[in-house]
Structure 1
Amino acid sequence: MQFGLTFEKLLLIGLIAVLIVGPERLPRMAEGFARVVRRAGEYLRDTRSRVREEMGPEIDDVDWRKLDPRQYDPRRIIRDALLEDPKPVSPAAASAIAEPAPRRAPAEFSAANLPPFDAEAT
């Protein structure tokens, strides 16, 4: 079972609930619990059918285990990235990297030439 709950623990919780609720209110509580469980099941079925409608037939082709974030090890991702062959760079991109853009001289600000001002940022 999930959350470390075993059958014995659930049985003990049920027994304590019966003792606390009492025999008079127990049938109403059981009906209410059954109603909640039924609504939860309907909600899950509706959600599943809605996802299937919105994603279409390709939802059956999705490998959900591949999308599980628990399978990703950061060390493996970094190792794969470091061992990966570098992608070839186009000649235009290589020349842009080799030749940095020329630097402009900083603007001289004065009373006539004010620096830029953003009224929303202050």
Structure 2
Amino acid sequence: MFDSIGWGEIVVLIVAGLFILGPERLPSAAAWAARAIRQVRDYATGAREQLRGELGPEFDELRKPLEELRGLRNFNPRTAVQRTLFDDDPPAPKPNGHAPKPNMTKSTPPPAPTPPILTKNEVPPVDPDAT
């Protein structure tokens, strides 16, 4: 819950609460906030349990895409590109169990034709379409 709030912000909130509410009312305000957070958490847990009870095993199927999206939260494009370009691991089998043959994993393009070597004082050919 406090993933985005650091300890510095919590200290600032406590000090601001001391100045705004005063030392007499701060403990009761903190207890009220704790009860409200606990009640919201209980409501969320109750709603989740009610959905799980009504949907049964379909509830887990609905949660799978959410878990995949949660896994994308730690996605780093730089490491994905590096892994794609520089890792020579064989590709993992697909969900249907099909694994590509080793000679089909990467195909090397044919080498580019080498241009002819020009002799001294020879004019190179000009490609009119390239200009």
TM-score (norm 2): 0.44
Higher relative contact order (CA 8 A, sep 6+): 2
